[in-house]
Structures are given as structure tokens and as C-alpha cells.
Structure 1
Amino acid sequence: MDLLEISKKNTKKNKPLYIKILSLFSVVRGYNILLIIIAQYLAAVFIFSPELPLKKVLFDPNLYFIVLATICVVASGYIINNFYDAEKDSINKPIKSKIDSIVDQKTKLKIYFFLNFIGVLVAFLVSWRAALFFSIYIFLIWLYSHKLKRYPLSGLFSAAVLAILPFFAIFVYYKNFSEIIFTHAAFLFFMLLIRELIKDLLNLKGDFAQNYQTIAVKYGEHFTKILITFIVVLTLNPIYFLLQYPEIGGMKYYFYVVFLGLLIFLGLLWFNNTKRNYGILHLILKMLIVAGVFSLALIDYSVIIDRILLK
């Protein structure tokens, strides 16, 4: 048995560097981080500072530092989440779990602390308030990974709030307190709640085995579906109000697609209980959220050229 363990350790150590980099990319979910970068810049350009020249927003060093701090802190958040969820993920996501385990836990923790240090340091270049914000954000991510996600309501709401916080940093930086921003935030918040509940259904087996008291584990699949349906209905409210704003421009077509997509989503939710179906539902939500990020570019598209020409 000892020889077998030594053999496994040696196999891990002998992995090529590019394999370890790919494993780390999987752990920090590099594709999600890339999406966050795009989303922050598009939100800054089209929602938080629509009156500023495009060049001034894109080349703002403070915005760059906020985005860089976000990258570091979110990446470290995925690492600590992966650290605490290792056993659960080996049940729910066996293939991804094997890829993630190529980099040992000790190395992951070193990278976790390094990224947090860099994130706070970069935030200091903006202001001490920004550094304080990201320090609190780091603590909240750790608290969520270590404790909050194991309980029904705290796990559900904290996951959605933590996903929105990177945009809150930009929101505070530009001090834009318009109604349309809060309505967008409400829409995104409800979509994230739905996604978290679908993840609970998708990961039911592993959550139950590791005693994670999610809503799906504690109250069952039927109640979770009722709650998802209720939140979908709530989501229609910000969609309705956003469609009343002429400022959203071509993004209105995105909300029409979301409306149709959510109806299809509900049909699939209630007429199939398989894990494969929950995976499809999760994919639908991810596609709608990703499409929402890129559809931000459709806001006020008629004045984009004017903003490019402004000095």
C-alpha cells in the first residue's frame, strides 16, 4: 500500500508543466474569469459610464486595476472552493475532479494566498477603500466555501451575491446610481439564484453524501422545482421594466430570447427528473447569462461611433 502511494505521488510530480497549467486553469475556471473580464469592461462602457468617451473608459488605469484585482481574487476563490469541495466533486464531477487533482493541494493553497496578496496590493493602487473592499470579498469567499454553502438559504443567497460583487466594485467606482442599473442587478441576481438551485439538483448525490444541507437535500426535488418556478416568475418583473427603458437599445431582443428561454426551461424542469436533464438546464442558464454579457454591447449601439470619435 505504501509503495502504491509513493508511486501515485511520483506520477503526479512527473506530470509535464503544461498538464499542470491546464489543471490549474480548470481549478480557477479560466473560461469564467475571461467572461468576467469581458463583462466588467462591457458593463463599464455601456451601463456604468455611458456618457464618457470610449477611449477614456477602456484606458482608465483604475478600471484596469479593479479588473486585475477581481481576476486575482475570483481565481483564488475558485481555488479555495475547490479545496473544500474536493470530496464532493469526486462524486459529482469525477472527470473534472481527476483533472483538478493533478496539482496537489499544498501548491493550490500557496497560489491561493499569493493571488489574494496580489489582488489586495493591486486594489491599493486604486484606493484604500478598494483594498478594503477586496479584503472583505476574500473573507466572504472563504466563509462561503468553508461554512455558508453547507446550509440552505445562506448557501443560495451568498453564492448569488458573491457572483455580483465584482460588478459592485465598478458600480461604486463610477458612482452611477441610476434605476436601470438596479433593475439589471435584480435580473442578474434572480438568474444566479435559479442557476444555484439547478446546481443543487445536479449535485444532489454528492451534497447528500457529504452532508451539505442545500435546499434540494433538505427539502427535496419537488420543493426545489416549485422555488425555481417562483423565482422564474420574479425574474419576469425586471425583464418587463427593462423593456420600458429606451436606453437598452438592441438589448431588448436579448430579453425576448430570455423570456422564451425561461418558458422552455420550465417545461424541461417539470417533465424530466434525470441528472442529464438538470445538466441541460444548467447549460441553458449558462448560455443565457453568457449571451447577456455580450448583449450589453447592444445598449445604445446607435451612439457607439460617436463615443469612439469623442476625445
Structure 2
Amino acid sequence: MKTKSNFKTFLVKALSLFSSVRLYNVTIVAIAQLLAAIFIIAPELTVKTILLDYRLWLIIIASSAAIAGGYIINNFYDREKDLINRPQKTLLENKVSRSTLWSVYFTVNGIAFVLGSIVSWRAGLFFAFYIFAMWLYSHKLKRILFAGNLMAALLAVTPFFVLFMYYKNFYPVILVHGGFLFLILGMRELVKDLENLRGDLAQNYRTIPVVLGEKVSKQFYTFLTLLTIIPIAVLIQFFDIGFMKYYFALIAGALLVCLPLIWSSRRKREYLLIHFILKMIIAVGVFSILLIDLPVILERLKTLI
């Protein structure tokens, strides 16, 4: 009986820890890094060469560890706010003591720095700055008007810059892809602020909805939506992105459909729906990288056999 109780306690704490580090988000970024390295950033290399490069795997693991640490420190500073905005999820995450979370935080950040340093001193320095930037965002910047949204979107795309450093490749198409992703992430952060308005207001976070109101926030969202059409049009019109053009055409339609939805939204669950749609756009976009040149990709994958 005691063994069963101990196992249940262990299982709850494990689920709490996985919730704290946002395992789903970490996994999506890791997959995106791998696919970007194979099909966008280093297309001149064979799939086998890239997959057998242990330094690439060190970069991906280091990025995952640093991102997990970022979620932990963010949860630590947002605990009181999250008790208001998402009480059930926060109560689950509170099953792990703060001392344990601090231990995990320093451990994963240490892993990120050490693995990055093994790749190169530049990669080690990159992860050191990235870890510091995530702490600064969680501790200070996210409470500052506009700075929080901007920094959150930048931190989300930053793990891909270490791949540019490693492969020393930077194509214009990558810049446009990055601009599209940055705008989508900015929209997601704005929607998160709208759904977390009660907690942000109670804890004196100076977000756009708190300071400028919901109407202005929706105007900003509309502006970002229209701005996102620009990189979509540029990618479809001026770059050879193969079947991925259908993904971008579909996304343009989805974003325009979301506009009347956000203007009619008044309750948290309605904002959660839009947040979910934006998360799906990002997740599907990761795997749509495979559509850039599907016949060539299938041919390249044969090199693994």
C-alpha cells in the first residue's frame, strides 16, 4: 500500500515537472531545429552527414535544456499571477517544491552551457547570454509595456540563430521565414496577455491590455495580422518554397478568419481558442518545412538507407 502511494506521489511530481518545463513546446523547438538544419540552413549537406554530426545534437540538446530552464524561471516569477489565470495547472506545478525547481533550473542551464562550450566557445557564450536574457525577461522585462511582448517573441526565435552561427549560412529566405514566425509569436503573446488580463492586473504587470485596454490590444493584433501577410506574399511570390506555398496560403486564410473572432471575443475561453489556433499554425509550420521540395527531400532521405 505504501509502495503504491509512493509511486503515485512520484508520478504526480513527474507530471508537475513536465508541466513546468513545457515539454511539448521544448520538443517542437527541437524538431524545428533539426528540420531547419537538414532542409533550410545546410541544404548542401546530405541528411546522413547532418544526422551523424554529434555537435548538431549537442546544440539541440543544449537549446532544449536552456528553454526548459527558461520555462522554470518564468513559472517561478509568475506563480502568483498564474494562480489567478490558470489555478488548476498551477496547483499541479506546485507539487514540486521550489528548492527542487531551483536545482533543476541550475542543472539544465549548466548542461546547456557545458554542451554549447563543447561545440565551440562561441556557442557556449551564446547559451550563456540566452540563459541570462530569459532570466531578465522573466524577472523584469515582461512587466514592462511592449518590452515584454517584443522580448518574448525574440527569445522564441533565438535558438535558431545558434544554427546559423554553427553552419555559417544565412539565406534571404531564412530571414523572411524568421519575420513570419516573429510576427505569429508576437500575435500569440498579445492573445496570451488578453486571456491573462485578470492576473496581470492583480499583479501590476504593465501589458498592453492592462495599460491601453482590450480595444487597443485588438487593434494591435489586427495590425500584426495584416503585417504577417507581407512575408507570406514575399515567400510565395519570390522564393521557391515548393508545396509549402499551400501552407502559407492556408495560414493567410486562417489568420483573416481569426480577425472577426478576436473582435467578438470577450471571455477567456474565446481567447484560448485563438491561442490554440496560433499554436497549431506554429506546430504545423514546423512540419511543413518538409514540403519545400518534397521530391528532393524523398530522394535525400534515401541516403539514410
The question of a shared fold, defined as TM-score above 0.5 by the shorter chain, is answered with yes
Residue of structure 1 equivalent to 2:230: 237
Identity of paired residues, percent?
50
| TM superposition shift of 1:306 | 3.0
Residues 1:210 and 2:211 are matched in the alignment: no
Instruction: State yes or no: 1:255 paired with 2:248.
Output: yes
- 2:291 alignment counterpart: 298
Counterpart of 1:111 in structure 2 is 104
Amino acid paired to 1:137: Y
Return the TM-score normalized by structure 1: 0.93
Structure 1 counterpart SS, 2:237: coil
Match of 2:140 in 1: 147
Whether the 8 Å CA contact 2:173–2:239 is kept in 1: the answer is no
Question: Can you give the 5+ residue segments of structure 2 that lack an aligned partner in the other structure?
Answer: 1-5
Greater Cα offset, 56-65 or 235-244: 56-65
SS of 2:242's equivalent in the other structure is helix
User: 1:3: which partner in 2?
Assistant: none
CA–CA distance in 1 between the matches of 2:251 and 2:30? Answer: 23
The CA distance in 2 between the partners of 1:96 and 1:274, in whole Å, is 19
Q: In the alignment, which residue of structure 1 is the partner of 2:282?
A: 289
Scaled by the length of structure 2, the TM-score of the pair is 0.95
Q: Post-superposition shift, 1:246?
A: 4.8
The aligned residue for residue 100 of structure 1 is: 93
1:53 paired to 2:50: no
* SS of residue matched to 2:206: coil
- Whole-Å separation in 2 of the counterparts to 1:246 and 1:216: 37
Residue in structure 1 matched with residue 182 of structure 2 by the alignment: 189
Residue 75 (str. 1) matches residue 68 (str. 2): yes
Q: Does 1:161 align with 2:182?
A: no
Kept in 1: contact 2:290–2:297 (CA 8 A): no
State the partner residue of 2:123: 130
> Match for residue 6 of structure 1?
none
Aligned counterparts of 2:128 and 2:300: Cα–Cα separation in 1: 35
| Residue aligned with 1:306, SS | helix
> Out of 70, 74, 83, which is 1:90 matched to?
83
- Report Cα offsets for 1:194-250 as digits up to 9, x if no partner: 000000000000000000000110000000000110011110000000002453111
Listed one character per residue, the Cα deviations across residues 115-135 of structure 1 (whole Å, up to 9, x for unaligned) are 111110011110010000000
Q: CA deviation at 1:47?
A: 1.0
Cα separation, 2, equivalents of 1:178 and 1:219: 38
Alpha-carbon distance between aligned partners in 1 of 2:150 and 2:197, rounded to the nearest angstrom: 18
Task: In structure 2, give the amino acid aligned to 1:199.
Answer: K
Which residue matches 2:3? none
Return closer, same or farther for 1:163/1:84 CA change in 2, 3 Å cut-off.
Answer: same
Aligned residues: 300
Deviation digits for residues 83-134 of structure 1, max 9, x if unmatched? 0000000000101101100001111011101111111001111001000000
Range 275-284 or range 171-180, more displaced = 171-180
Structure 2 equivalent of residue 170 of structure 1:
163
2:214 to 221, 224, 248: 221
Aligned equivalent of 1:278, options 257, 266, 271: 271
What amino acid maps onto 2:212 in structure 1?
Y
In structure 1, the gaps of 5 or more residues are: 1-12
CA distance in 2, matches of 1:70, 1:99: 25
Letter in 1 for 2:230: N
How far apart are residue 272 of structure 1 and its match? 2.4
Following TM superposition, by how much is the alpha carbon of 1:176 offset from its aligned partner in structure 2, in angstroms? 1.7
Paired with 1:126 and 1:183, the residues of 2 have a C-alpha distance of 28
1:23 aligned partner: 16
SS of the residue 2:169 aligns to: coil
Inter-partner Cα distance in structure 2 for 1:305 and 1:273 = 46
- 1:41 is aligned to 34
Give how far 1:150 is off.
0.3
**CA–CA separation in structure 2 for the residues paired with 1:198 and 1:278:** 6
Give me the whole-angstrom Cα distance separating, in 1, the residues matched to 2:88 and 2:289: 34
Distance (Å, rounded) in 2 between the aligned partners of 1:279 and 1:82: 19
Counterpart of 2:213 in 1: which secondary structure?
helix
Instruction: State the match for 1:4 in structure 2.
Output: none
Structure 2 counterpart of 1:308, one-letter code: L
Q: Does 1:267 align with 2:260?
A: yes
